[in-house]
A and B are shown apart, each in its own frame.
Chain A
Amino acid sequence: MANHSAVTPSSGNIWDGGSSPFSVRWGKMYMWIFLVSDAFTFSSLLIAYGTMRHRFPEVWPKPGDVFTHFPFIHGHVPLMYVGLMTFILIMSSVTMVLAVDAGHSLKRKSVLKWLGLTIVGGFMFLGSQAWEWYHFIKGSEQGAYVLADGRYARTDDLEPGVLKFHDGSVVEGAEAQALIAGSVKNIKGANLTENEYGNVPLFGNFFFFITGFHGFHVFSGVVINIIVFILVYQGFLDRKKDYELVEKVGLYWHFVDLVWVFVFTFFYLV
């Protein structure tokens, strides 16, 4: 290259060299590449869930019948709790984007405030998830019965003595007592081999694996946020005069929020 093309491109095409077509710093781009691969992992998990749900439509539990608990409320409150968890995570995403915004103008104190609130939001989400896992694993008081004829009957804490079947039919009174007396098995709560929500162990497996994998991402996000918080507090980024680090963890944190949006829809909503 005689005329030093690294400085003066020969034509107006951005791919001719001398400029960055992506116009993004390498640290941010690496984070994006990692997030794409992570998105593929989560997509595969959710698609596997969807495939098995289409495979066993007649026994797969309806999410609205499974996640019905809400703190301090006695009764069925489907979706509200995960709605609250979604709110917490979106809120912490907002505080994170505000931290990134403050970082652009090198406002250290403002970054610390918003990043600190993001960490608080992360802990709130993790606590909410622990509460939800506890209720999922513990299950209802009576659990579900595997009847002598192989059918699967759930019970309802609010209507004792009533057996509910997946197709919506209900048996109660003496007939229900007779079915319970002759039942093969009583399942309470959920583990990796069986669960009271439906005659399909895969449901519990997918729940633990997908929400657990996401929860672990949130957990690592909180840890990374705390590390960055300490670095900002010590003035490390001020000495560099560069808050790109906050931007990178911000990308990761928003990604965790993004994944939850999809988990919320495909695990809890549909």
Chain B
Amino acid sequence: MHHEVVSHASEEKAHSALNTKMIWKVFWILLGITLFEVGISFTAIPHTILIWTFVALTLVKAYYIVGYFMHMKFEAVPFQWAILLPFILIVYLIVIALYEGTVLGLIPG
């Protein structure tokens, strides 16, 4: 019973944690990052630095969308792990696939 009470309490807390004010704050953050990305794409910053900046900012945007809009930040910790951990496989696939593509590009013919 104790845990039922705890989970209900945490659910109540979760609902009060994401209020209208915070929703709009996240909106301005997402919009600001997007405008910043478009802005720096017109500058003469070296391409490699730009790409890594874009990747980092995209992950920040993803954090805010998943965490706040999709409410993940306020879910139970085991559930967060269950949903997010599989994406390690995606990181692995990115590394091997881009490496493979680059090597194929270097093979003549």
Contacts and interface: CB of A to CB of B under 8 A. Distances in A.
A261 B58 contact: yes
Nearest to A104: B15
Contacts of B43: none
A261 B62 CA distance: 7
Given A39-B87, A54-B102, A270-B51, A47 B62 contact: no
A266 B105 CA distance: 19
Contact of B58 (A23, A29, A262): A262
A269 B98 contact: no
B3 A9 contact: yes
A19 B1 CA distance: 8
Band of interface residues on B: 35 or more
A210 to B, nearest CB: 15
Given A14-B78, A104-B15, A94 B27 contact: yes
B65 A257 contact: yes
B55 A50 contact: no
A235 interface: no
Contact of B105 (A50, A55, A87, A98): A55
A254 B75 contact: no
Interface in A96-112: 96-98, 101, 104
Nearest to B84: A36
A104 B14 CA distance: 11
Nearest to B80: A22
Contacts of B30: 90
Contacts of A91: 27
Contacts of A47: 90, 93-94, 97-98
Contacts of B66: 254, 258
A220 interface: no
Contacts of A29: 79
User: Which residue among B23, B55, B69, B87 has the maximum number of chain A CB atoms within 10 Å of its CB?
Assistant: B69
Interface string A34-70: 0010011001100110111111110000001000000
A94 B64 CA distance: 12
Contacts of B31: 87, 90
Given A43-B93, A265-B55, A83 B98 contact: no
B11 A251 contact: no
A56 B106 CA distance: 9
Nearest to A98: B23
Interface of B: 1-4, 6-7, 10-11, 15, 18-20, 23-24, 26-27, 30-31, 34-35, 37-38, 41-42, 50-51, 54-55, 57-58, 61-62, 65-66, 68-70, 75-76, 78-79, 82-83, 86-87, 89-90, 93-94, 97-98, 100-102, 104-105
20 contacts: A18-B1, A21-B78, A22-B79, A23-B79, A39-B90, A40-B86, A43-B93, A47-B90, A47-B94, A47-B97, A50-B98, A50-B101, A56-B105, A78-B41, A83-B34, A86-B34, A98-B20, A98-B23, A261-B58, A269-B37
Interface of A: 7-9, 14, 18-24, 29, 32, 36, 39-40, 43-44, 47-48, 50-57, 64, 78-80, 83, 86-87, 90-91, 93-94, 96-98, 101, 104, 251, 254-255, 257-258, 261-262, 264-265, 269-270
